[in-house]
Amino acid sequence: MKPGKWHALAVVALFLALAGLSYVTSDPRAAVSRPERWLRDAVAPVQAALSAAARWVEDTVETVASVGRLQEENRALREEVARLQGQLRELEQVRRENERLRELAGVNQRLEREFVAARVIARSHSQWFSAVTINRGAVDGLRPGLPVVNAQGAVGHVESVTARTARVLLLTDLKSAVGGMIKDSEMPVLVEGTGDPAGREALVRPLVVGHRLEPGDEVVTSGLSHIFPKGVPIGVIEEVRDDAQGLKQLAVLRPHVDFTRLDWVTVILDGEDGEVRWWPEDEAEEDSAEQ
């Protein structure tokens, strides 16, 4: 066979191999192959360091901006402010860090479950997918399928883990589907990701015929998808669309979580069982009912 034909055969074989590989990996996978694990673990320390640097720059810029405003209001203290700027910057960064951790601690208190706090060290490799990498992995007890939340509500679930990192599939990924319910009526719905790169919307499909969705309905997890416990906030319905016959409804939901600014998250280790009392008024209601 001529070399030109060998080349053509090699290209066809490569194309077929890649097509096969694409087919096999078109859905989120819990199992991670060894080369994938090596690559993720090799890149993770660099990502963690760069994320920390990015956060420091972001915090410093914000702090400097707020210091600038203060200077205008307090001209008399300008010299004093200039002298204290360095200390202020550091304090401000510590305050923000504390705020985030306090928020997280608040969530963790509400969860009353076994959990692991983790930090987002990397975003998805491509805007076509909605996933993040966190700095906790199998050695911390994480495994595929565990629910991930933050102070605002449901974030997603652990898709796959390596020894020290985990990939979290966000609620807004095209392949994400979570069981939800309307908070007030407890009507079951399915919350599906749209793949929106900004993570600003998800779709809600009612699972009960005849029950109407309304804009403003609060959606929480139902516990039926075997990922999240019941009661974790997901978002608010913004818009409701009917199909041509008016028989089926489809709603657009705005998630509570800001998926573009994820930092600290909590991985719930004891899974989907039971219910979460997320809002303080829920606890108050339950207490008064008990009395």
CA dihedral (167, 170, 175, 180) positive or negative: positive
Q: Measured in whole angstroms, how far is the alpha carbon of residue 266 from the centre of its chain?
A: 10
For every residue of 116-166, DSSP letters joined together read EEEEEEEE-SSTTS-EEEES--GGGT--TT-EEEETTEEEEEEEEE-SS-E
Structure tokens at 150: 């933050």
CB of 258 to another protein, least distance (A): 11
Which CB, 84 or 198, lies closer to another protein?
198
Residue with tokens 């420091």: 56
Choices 14-22, 104-112, 142-150, 176-184 (CB under 8 A): range interacting with another protein: 14-22
Does 28 help bind another protein (rule: CB under 8 A)?
Answer: yes
Which CB, 188 or 195, lies closer to another protein?
195
Does 279 help bind another protein (rule: CB under 8 A)?
Answer: no
Q: How many CA atoms lie within 13 A of 18 on its CB side?
A: 6
The correct pick among 82, 102, 112, 128 for binding another protein (CB under 8 A) is: 128
Residue type at 149? V
Which CB, 110 or 123, lies closer to another protein?
123
Which CB, 144 or 231, lies closer to another protein?
144
The correct pick among 65, 72, 75, 126 for binding another protein (CB under 8 A) is: 126
Residue type at 248? K
CB of 136 to another protein, least distance (A): 16
Does 6 help bind another protein (rule: CB under 8 A)?
Answer: no
CB of 283 to another protein, least distance (A): 35
- Give the other-Cβ count within 10 Å of 157's Cβ: 24
